[in-house]
C-alpha cells in the first residue's frame, strides 16, 4: 500500500484530501471523491436512498458455531428479509473474525498453521449460514485481502490525524475476551473443577493475565465529549434503551486511550501495523472495520458513497460485545468523521439450565444438529419467538416442541388444513363470492368476530412494520401469530362444516363464504408476513394457498389486495398437514 504522508499538524479533518487508495496506489480522482464523501457525511440528511444494511458480529473461529451464533445470524436475516419484503434493496453481511491471540493459540494447540485453521473453521460458520437460510450478500473473513487493505488504510488515516501514539502499556489482558480490563474490574476466582485460583474479569469471569509491553494507542479520550454528545442526541441508538446507561457510564467514568497493537512476538497472527512490522493491529480494531469493508470502504465513488450501504442501518450484536460496538466503534468512526451506524440491536443470551452456553462448560447446543432435528423453519421460529433481547432465554427442547405443536402444527398447519382440505366447500368460490359483493366491511359489520378479524388483518402489516422498525422481530412475530390464532377461533366459532349443510339458506351461505374468506385471507396475509421468519415454510404455505409469486410482497399483505388465489399449487390429494408441519419425534 502506498501511503502519502501529510503532516498530522495540518489538521484532523483533512484525510479526505489524500489521493490515496490502498493496494491500488495513488488515485487523484479520490481527492474529489473523498471530499464529496466528507461533505455528504457532514450533513444530517437521513440516508433514505441507500440500501438497507444490516450486519451480524463476525464470529471467532476458535470454536465451533453454537445456537447463540445462529441467533445473531437469524435476527439479522429476518431484518434483511423484512426490508426486501417491503421492496427496499437490502444487504446483509456476516462472516468470521480470524486474527488475534485467541485464534493464534487455538491453531497452535491443534498444531495447524493459522490460515488453514481459519479456513477449516470459517467453513463451518459459512455452512451454518447456508443451513440456517441466511440470505447474506457477503461472508466476510478478516483474512480477505480487501479487508486487510481497508484496515491498513483506516490505521493510516488515524495516524495522519494524530490520533495514534506509541507508549508503554501495562494491564490485565483477557485472551478469551481479547481486551484489557481496568484494575477495578479484576477479581479472584476459583475453578469449580480443579480448585485452582485465578484472576478474572468481573464482567465475563474469564481469566486475565498481566501484560507489560510497548504498543500503539488510539487517543480515544479525545472523543469523549463527542461520544457523550452523540448518546445524548440519540437516546434510542441502542436497542434495548436500557443498555445505553451502561455505555454512557463507561464513557463517563472509565474511558481511557485504547491500546491498539500488540508486539509481533506475542501476536503474529494479524495485520501488521503499516510502517512498523514489529507490531500487529489489535484484533477488535481489525474486526470492527469489517462492517466498512463490506460497504466498499475506502473506494467510494463520488456521489455514490452510500451505495455499499454505509452507514449500517443495524448492527446486530450480543450484549457481551456492547462496549466494543457502542464505545470503541463510534469513537473510531468519529475520529475519521465517518457516519455512525444508525442503530445497534444488542440481544440477550441463550442459556442452558440458566447458565450461559460456553465451550468450556460444554453446554453448547450445536445448531446444525438442531436444524436437522427440528427443521430450519421451526428452529428460526423458535429462536425469534422465544429468544430474548432484554432477558436471557433458556434453550429447552420441550419449549421448542411445545411451540411447534401449539403454534405451528396445531395453529397454522391446522388452520390451513381445516380450510383447504374439506370437500364440503370450495375456497375459490368463497373468494369469488366476496370479490363479487365488494362490500366486505358492510357485510361483516354486524358480526363481532368477523369484523374484529377484518380490523386485525387491516392493522397487522403496519403494526408488524412498526415493531420491525424498533427493531423487535419477536414482537412482530407474536402479533402475526396472534392474528392466526384468532382466525382459528373464528373458524371454530362459525363452524363452516355446519353452515355448508344449508346451501339454500342465504344467511348461512353468506356466513360460510365470509368465514372461509377471512380464514383464507388470514392465511394469505400471515403467510406473506411470515416469509422473513420462516422462508421455506411460508413459501410452502403460499403455494398451498395458490398465491402467485408476484403477489407475495408487503404491499399485498392487505385485506383485499389479492382475489386471484385459492387454487393450491399442490399435488392432488396431498394434505397441508403432511406438507407443512409434520409430526416430529419428541426424544429428549
Ligand atoms: N469476534 C467477536 C465479534 C466481532 S464483531 C466485529 C465475537 N465473536 S463470538 O464468536 O465470540 O461471538 C459472536 C456473537 O455470538 C456475539 O454477538 C455474541 O454475543 C453471540 N453469542 C455468543 N454466545 C451467545 C449465547 N450463548 N447466546 C446468544 N448469543 C451469544 O464476539
**Grid coordinates given for 562:** 389479492
- Determine whether the shortest distance from the Cβ of 318 to ligand 1 is under 6 A: yes
**pLDDT at position 434, please?**
96
- Determine whether the shortest distance from the Cβ of 72 to ligand 1 is under 6 A: yes
Please tell me the distance between residue 415's alpha carbon and the centre of ligand 1 in angstroms: 38
Which pairing describes strands 164-174 and 138-141: parallel, antiparallel, or unpaired? unpaired
Please tell me the distance between residue 144's alpha carbon and the centre of ligand 1 in angstroms: 20
**pLDDT at position 529, please?**
98
**Grid coordinates given for 455:** 380490523
pLDDT tens profile 343-367: 999 999 999 988 888 777 788 999 9
Nearest to 230 by CA among 39, 44, 53: 44
Question: CB of 357 within 8 A of CB of 67?
Answer: yes
Ligand 1 atom, smallest distance to 60 CA: 10
**pLDDT at position 7, please?**
31
Q: What is the dihedral of CA 10, 14, 18, 21, to 10 degrees?
A: 130
Pocket test for ligand 1, best of 67, 318, 325 (most atoms within 8 A of CB): 318
Helix (H) or strand (E) holding 316: strand 314-318
Please tell me the residue having the least CA distance from ligand 1 atom 29: 68
**pLDDT at position 362, please?**
81
Question: What is the mean pLDDT for each group of 10 consecutive residues in the chain (588 residues)?
Answer: 30 30 35 38 52 98 95 98 98 98 96 97 98 98 98 98 94 90 90 87 91 95 98 98 96 95 96 97 98 97 93 98 98 98 97 83 91 97 97 95 96 94 93 94 95 98 98 98 98 97 96 98 98 97 95 98 88 61 72
Please tell me the distance between residue 78's alpha carbon and the centre of ligand 1 in angstroms: 18
Whole-angstrom CA distances from 205 to 200, 201, 240, 247, 361 are: 5, 5, 24, 19, 13
**pLDDT at position 374, please?**
95
Pocket test for ligand 1, best of 59, 286, 350 (most atoms within 8 A of CB): 59
Please tell me the distance between residue 243's alpha carbon and the centre of ligand 1 in angstroms: 17
Strands (E), 176-237: 179-181, 186-190, 197-201, 209-218
**pLDDT at position 33, please?**
42
Pocket test for ligand 1, best of 61, 64, 68, 270 (most atoms within 8 A of CB): 68
Amino acid at each position: 500500500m502506498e501511503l502519502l504522508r501529510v503532516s498530522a499538524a495540518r489538521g484532523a479533518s483533512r484525510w479526505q484530501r489524500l489521493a490515496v487508495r490502498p493496494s491500488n496506489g495513488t488515485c487523484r480522482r479520490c481527492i474529489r471523491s473523498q471530499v464529496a464523501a466528507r461533505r455528504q457525511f457532514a450533513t444530517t440528511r437521513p440516508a433514505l436512498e441507500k440500501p438497507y444494511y444490516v450486519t451480524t458480529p463476525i464470529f471467532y473461529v476458535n470454536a465451533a458455531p453454537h445456537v447463540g451464533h445462529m441467533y445473531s445470524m437469524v435476527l439479522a436475516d429476518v431484518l434483511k428479509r423484512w426490508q426486501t419484503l417491503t421492496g427496499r434493496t437490502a444487504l446483509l453481511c456476516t462472516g468470521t473474525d480470524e486474527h488475534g491471540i485467541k485464534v493464534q493459540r487455538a491453531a497452535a494447540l491443534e498444531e495447524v498453521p493459522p490460515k488453514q485453521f481459519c479456513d477449516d473453521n470459517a467453513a463451518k460458520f459459512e455452512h451454518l449460514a447456508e443451513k440456517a437460510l441466511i440470505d447474506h450478500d457477503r461472508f466476510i473473513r478478516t483474512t480477505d485481502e480487501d479487508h486487510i487493505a481497508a484496515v491498513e488504510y483506516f490505521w493510516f488515516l488515524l495516524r495522519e490525524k494524530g490520533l495514534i501514539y506509541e507508549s508503554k502499556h501495562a494491564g490485565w489482558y483477557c485472551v478469551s475476551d481479547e481486551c484489557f480490563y481496568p484494575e477495578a474490574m479484576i477479581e479472584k476466582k476459583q475453578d469449580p473443577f480443579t480448585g485452582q485460583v485465578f484472576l478474572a474479569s468481573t464482567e465475563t469471569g474469564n481469566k486475565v493475565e498481566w501484560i507489560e509491553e510497548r504498543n500503539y494507542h488510539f487517543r480515544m479520550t479525545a472523543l469523549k465529549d463527542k461520544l457523550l454528545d452523540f448518546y445524548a442526541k440519540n437516546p434510542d441508538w441502542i436497542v434495548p434503551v436500557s443498555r445505553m446507561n451502561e455505555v454512557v457510564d463507561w464513557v463517563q467514568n472509565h474511558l481511557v486511550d485504547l491500546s491498539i497493537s500488540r508486539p509481533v512476538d506475542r501476536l503474529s497472527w494479524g495485520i501488521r501495523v503499516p510502517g512498523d512490522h514489529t507490531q500487529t493491529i489489535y484484533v477488535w480494531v481489525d474486526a470492527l472495520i469489517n462492517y466498512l469493508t463490506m460497504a466498499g470502504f475506502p473506494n467510494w465513488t463520488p456521489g455514490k458513497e452510500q451505495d455499499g450501504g454505509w452507514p449500517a442501518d443495524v448492527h446486530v450484536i450480543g450484549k457481551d460485545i456492547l462496549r466494543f460496538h457502542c464505545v470503541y466503534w463510534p469513537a473510531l468512526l468519529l475520529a475519521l468523521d465517518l457516519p455512525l451506524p444508525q442503530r445497534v440491536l444488542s440481544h440477550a443470551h441463550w442459556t442452558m439450565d440458566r447458565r450461559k452456553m460456553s465451550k468450556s462448560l460444554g453446554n453448547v447446543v450445536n445448531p446444525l444438529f438442531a436444524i436437522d432435528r427440528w427443521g430450519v423453519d421451526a428452529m428460526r421460529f423458535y429462536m425469534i419467538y422465544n429468544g430474548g433481547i432484554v432477558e436471557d432465554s433458556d434453550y429447552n427442547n420441550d419449549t421448542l416442541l411445545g411451540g411447534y405443536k401449539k403454534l405451528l402444527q396445531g395453529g397454522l398447519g391446522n388452520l390451513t388444513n381445516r380450510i383447504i382440505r374439506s370437500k364440503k366447500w370450495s375456497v375459490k368460490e368463497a373468494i369469488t363470492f366476496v370479490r363479487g359483493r365488494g362490500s366486505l366491511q358492510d357485510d361483516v359489520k354486524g358480526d363481532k368476530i368477523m369484523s374484529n378479524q377484518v380490523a386485525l388483518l387491516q392493522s397487522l402489516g403496519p403494526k408488524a412494520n412498526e415493531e420491525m422498525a424498533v427493531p423487535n422481530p419477536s414482537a412482530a412475530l407474536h402479533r402475526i401469530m396472534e392474528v392466526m390464532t384468532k382466525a382459528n377461533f373464528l373458524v371454530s366459532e362459525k363452524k363452516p362444516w355446519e353452515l355448508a349443510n344449508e346451501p339454500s339458506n342465504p344467511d348461512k351461505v353468506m356466513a360460510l363464504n365470509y368465514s372461509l374468506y377471512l380464514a383464507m385471507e388470514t392465511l394469505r396475509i400471515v403467510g406473506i408476513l411470515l416469509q422473513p421468519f420462516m422462508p421455506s415454510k411460508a413459501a410452502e404455505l403460499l403455494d398451498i394457498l395458490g398465491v402467485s409469486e408476484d403477489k407475495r410482497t408487503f404491499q399485498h399483505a392487505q385485506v383485499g389486495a389479492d382475489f386471484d388465489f385459492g387454487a393450491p399449487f399442490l399435488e392432488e390429494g396431498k394434505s397441508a398437514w403432511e406438507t407443512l408441519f409434520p409430526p416430529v419425534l419428541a426424544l429428549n
